[in-house]
Structure 1
């Protein structure tokens, strides 16, 4: 964390993983496919190769071009060995490059604008980073006219055009990352209506992410194919085992690319069905991949990135893959248990499948399968045996697997742990890859996976929205505002909807949540109300929560006129035993932290 905190103290406790009444959901077909087949592909307004404003970067340093791994993640001592294999952290495939000072911001008035038939005008800006397999552009824009728009084009691979994107939408983010644009030249095309002066639009491209791997990776003669064919020799192309269950599960799995602070990473994720078959694009992966809304906002996914045929040696032909540049919303994650659930901002491509899932402990010695993108390569299938629970020192529980075919590698993070449904006709997701020591050169080693049965109580409202809730459990959602460097929690649905929809700009979900009770009448008899106070701006602009009625009362008296009580019972939660500090059965602690720098801001979390 960016500041020092006081030693944590138990504040309250929440109900842990109590078996939900809906514990399994079958797969579903993407019903939006008929619409997507008729979707018009975007195109550029200007001819490629025509007049453009060109920005040419110098060749990057050789050490950067050979980039392979992410920096080591911060993990507990008991988990550090598991992360040494390159798993437990996302695979890094891109590095930041700053544009020259003279190009920040861009002086749009001096650019070669071209008039269009509708009276508007457009300009192309080409950014070249020599040797890049692909580029992502970081845009910072200030736009007021709603009809200003951006398009993005790639110079290689599928030569796709993305957009148009309303410029106001991209300007809403401090930094907007473009789609992954294959080739060493990335193009952004700006469209202005006839009545908009270029001088009124402020645009900067302060940075790019230079990718050393991409979808097709250009397959240049004399260069390693990297992305395609880079997985280790024991990995098996999924098309080599073309059972209906394997082929259908493959259609639910995507290769993930996302960017944080200019560094670009690869993981694997799975599209999940919900209990009402709504076709809402819920996407499950590892928390060490989707650990912030920043990463989720620029999530770029590759679908059907599969070998075109089974061959030995492997067929390295570039497949007819599809991409989705929509980004996503981070709905929930757990640092301790390493799971994450996001909702894609657009429908996945036609032909995708929403995976089945089962939120129950796995039977000992069960056969399992993993569909993954090791090293960002074409989709692979690994098989193994569930060994049992794997317990870390801090009390977290994962599922341990030993492989009988293949292994996992960097880039496999987040891959679903799968078991065949009782019918045998399809796979059910049971968790996602956290880390491990398995490798082709170490076939006896194991990996550990998160457990969906532990995650489900915190994502029930998404994956099983029609499940009964007799005890009126509710999810408390955490938000963060960078401008205040402060956290905020709420279980109030109107507040959550407002925050999620931008009613209070600057607040974003952290993904961290915990359970509480919304109705005292059906809560445990020892549940206590949680009060919320607001510190008025002239004294600091923050919030304070307490589940101790005496502390709530004392705050109202001691800080009258400064801390204003907003709610005496925001939600209800159980307290530890005052004599022993022990948690009630089937609960886990919530901790309260204080920002020691300002002695005002607090944070409340169940993650340790």
Structure 2
């Protein structure tokens, strides 16, 4: 039945966050949201490690073949683990018996003189049937002036790495607290094919005796991750047929240019994931990079990172790799890692290629049911794009940290660390892990999370979980992305006496102290307390919901509105039943009760069940519609449930079934752990399961437990204690 809207006098509290000082270079901030825009920085192409090969001075290498793999070994190693949330394996470690220690390796290096008076030696390693190789070099002593070159014998270019870079890489691992041989192992760039040559050049006056290295292993790739530009992609990746070519969506080209395919080595095995280059508040061009923690779990692994940029098709669905493709080596410095949100936040040790874009991001909690987009490299394939909708918050916990398995349960924005996404087109696969999730706000794209994993399929089933960027940002990322000046928080009230707002950290207590400075990046929690005769009924602006607290990121001027409403007069809530509809209904307003009793809205009959209203929690009242429905009312005292239904109303057309907010109908109290406080009576709720039965949904809300048991016996669902009424 239609509702009767109470005429509430609304007191509005405006909270204005004004800036004390902000440097001119921080203009990417938007004045209302605190989001950071994307940014393109022309990087120095000179950072590329690929150099023309100086074949004229390259000595004939000493050649070593590891030997052919047995079928059993190959089958065991190439049986790719496809569990959700695991990095996509593309290679495995193979020992090199001839080079297992310092003495063996020194004996295999045949040094010759260079025209400049230095020394040079080369060694070729073949791992039969490999599609590519990365060489692991265990370093005990290294000269910074040494030069290492990695190439295949038929190549015209080589990766040229200075000894100084290798030593800096190892020192980062040691500084992070890893003293194992893994930390002292430098992993070479990826070279296509089953053979790789290592060439070491020492300058004049440096003896080979000062070099102490071993080459105990290689990472043997069984999956090719590179193809030449213009080559057909029939053998690049094995992405599912429902994947969508990112090149078909020009509006997402900037974010495509911020997304990279990444490879890394962990215990000799190689893996594929995805990641995103992020802008900072100053658009400084610092190459901050975001991926998943289940991909990059430590500094030692981050040091093996190799990135692949613009790895996408030349044109929409044309099946060839574009000519802009480039790779960068050098690894990354792991700045922040968290299993809680599956976040790995790094700074790349080499700048990305010219034309790479630094993606924008939002520190704000995304709205439920927002449309979202992910850009990624499924199965290591050319870049793809997936579209979907953020449908719930999730709380995900590891079930076995050794196998990366995890499970998730429904949560709310306060305790859910992940975003659950259902796709409307495209999906993700192995290799997509770590990919950025973007929300479109005012035609701009902002990163809001990175991929943990899930179980989507081309058949439309399954969802993915993305770690929440806003939580990682609030925890630590703001230190790098948003370091800067102090902002002033100013509070003003339009109607004094209706309530107060205080802040945490301390500073605001308005009432009396309505201005206070906070450092940029601080998350200020505002708490609204109503005055006598009023209730707090909700936030709007930069905060939302009816919880008494909200969080404001002090990154840019913000505005928040706190609404206080007069307390409804305590009274009695009366239950009705309509035998024609088989529906139950409750009414708290005496005028509405008289109107229902008159029969003007149908055959509604009092059941004799009633309970008192009163307390400090407002009950949200919703109504569907006569058409398209549901022709029923719904009541909830849960602030999160109320907010979610309001958000769903805002995103669902009126031509579709939805709940429409009517009013804050009466006051009650909330149970704790399904138990009501002393001197209160439990109020139960049952649901007729109308959605599954394809009938109008209806709920029975009553203080009579026997009444609940009666409808449950008829197939209704017992939803337990939802309110507590004063006795």
What TM-score does the superposition give when structure 1 sets the normalisation length? 0.65
Show the counterpart of 2:434: 414
Show the counterpart of 2:95: 98
- When residues 70 and 128 of structure 1 are mapped into structure 2, their CA distance, relative to the original with a 3 A threshold, is same
- The equivalent position to 2:421 in structure 1, one of 397, 401, 405, is 401
- The equivalent position to 1:162 in structure 2, one of 128, 148, 160, is 160
Displacement, 1:22?
Answer: 7.1
- The equivalent position to 2:383 in structure 1, one of 379, 383, 388, is 379
Asked if 1 retains the 8 angstrom alpha-carbon contact of 2:142 and 2:212, the reply is no
- The equivalent position to 1:199 in structure 2, one of 199, 209, 218, is 209
Show the counterpart of 1:462: 480
- The equivalent position to 1:56 in structure 2, one of 38, 52, 65, is 65
Corresponding residue SS for 1:370: strand
Asked if 2 retains the 8 angstrom alpha-carbon contact of 1:307 and 1:316, the reply is yes
Show the counterpart of 1:427: 445
Q: How does 1:189-588 map to 2 (within 5 A)?
A: 189-216=199-226, 226=235, 228-243=236-251, 246-311=252-317, 315-317=319-321, 320-391=324-395, 392=408, 396-422=416-442, 424=443, 426-440=444-458, 442-457=459-474, 458-466=476-484, 468=486, 471=505
Corresponding residue SS for 1:331: strand
Corresponding residue SS for 1:365: coil
Q: Quick one: distance in 1 between partners of 2:299 and 2:478?
A: 20
Asked if 1 retains the 8 angstrom alpha-carbon contact of 2:53 and 2:157, the reply is no
Q: Quick one: distance in 2 between partners of 1:258 and 1:247?
A: 26
Matched, 1:36 2:45: yes
- When residues 181 and 389 of structure 1 are mapped into structure 2, their CA distance, relative to the original with a 3 A threshold, is same
Asked if 2 retains the 8 angstrom alpha-carbon contact of 1:359 and 1:453, the reply is yes
Q: Quick one: distance in 1 between partners of 2:142 and 2:286?
A: 32
- When residues 22 and 259 of structure 1 are mapped into structure 2, their CA distance, relative to the original with a 3 A threshold, is farther
Displacement, 1:319?
Answer: 5.2
Corresponding residue SS for 1:151: strand
Displacement, 1:331?
Answer: 0.8
Displacement, 1:360?
Answer: 1.5
Show the counterpart of 2:196: 186
Q: Quick one: distance in 2 between partners of 1:375 and 1:217?
A: 14
Asked if 1 retains the 8 angstrom alpha-carbon contact of 2:261 and 2:377, the reply is yes
Q: Quick one: distance in 2 between partners of 1:451 and 1:158?
A: 44
Asked if 1 retains the 8 angstrom alpha-carbon contact of 2:49 and 2:329, the reply is no
Residue deviations 1:342-401 (CA, integer Å, cap 9, x gap): 110111111100000012122232211110000111000111112121234595431111
Structure with the greater alpha carbon radius of gyration: 2
Corresponding residue SS for 1:213: coil
Residue deviations 1:97-140 (CA, integer Å, cap 9, x gap): 00115653344366332321210011111111111111111101
Q: Quick one: distance in 1 between partners of 2:48 and 2:261?
A: 23
Corresponding residue SS for 1:455: helix
Displacement, 1:45?
Answer: 4.5
Q: Quick one: distance in 2 between partners of 1:305 and 1:109?
A: 41
Q: Which moved more, 1:445-454 or 1:56-65?
A: 56-65
- When residues 22 and 462 of structure 1 are mapped into structure 2, their CA distance, relative to the original with a 3 A threshold, is farther
Corresponding residue SS for 1:42: strand
Asked if 2 retains the 8 angstrom alpha-carbon contact of 1:155 and 1:183, the reply is no
Asked if 2 retains the 8 angstrom alpha-carbon contact of 1:109 and 1:199, the reply is no
Corresponding residue SS for 2:184: coil
Show the counterpart of 1:591: none
Asked if 1 retains the 8 angstrom alpha-carbon contact of 2:485 and 2:519, the reply is no
Q: Quick one: distance in 1 between partners of 2:93 and 2:227?
A: 18
- When residues 102 and 68 of structure 1 are mapped into structure 2, their CA distance, relative to the original with a 3 A threshold, is closer
Asked if 1 retains the 8 angstrom alpha-carbon contact of 2:314 and 2:323, the reply is yes
Asked if 1 retains the 8 angstrom alpha-carbon contact of 2:482 and 2:520, the reply is no
- When residues 433 and 158 of structure 1 are mapped into structure 2, their CA distance, relative to the original with a 3 A threshold, is farther
Corresponding residue SS for 2:51: coil
Displacement, 1:258?
Answer: 0.4
Residue deviations 1:258-305 (CA, integer Å, cap 9, x gap): 001101111100000011111111101111111111110110010010
- The equivalent position to 1:26 in structure 2, one of 37, 58, 67, is 37
Tell me how large the CA RMSD over aligned residues is: 3.1
- When residues 370 and 191 of structure 1 are mapped into structure 2, their CA distance, relative to the original with a 3 A threshold, is same
Matched, 1:86 2:94: no
- When residues 355 and 343 of structure 1 are mapped into structure 2, their CA distance, relative to the original with a 3 A threshold, is same
Displacement, 1:141?
Answer: 2.3
Tell me which of the two structures has the higher relative contact order, counting C-alpha pairs closer than 8 angstroms and 6 or more residues apart.
1
Asked if 1 retains the 8 angstrom alpha-carbon contact of 2:50 and 2:157, the reply is no
Displacement, 1:156?
Answer: 7.0
Residue deviations 1:576-607 (CA, integer Å, cap 9, x gap): xxxxxxxxxxxxxxxxxxxxxxxxxxxxxxxx
- Paired residues, number: 431
Q: How does 1:9-24 map to 2 (within 5 A)?
A: 23-24=34-35
Q: Quick one: distance in 2 between partners of 1:237 and 1:68?
A: 27
- When residues 322 and 420 of structure 1 are mapped into structure 2, their CA distance, relative to the original with a 3 A threshold, is same
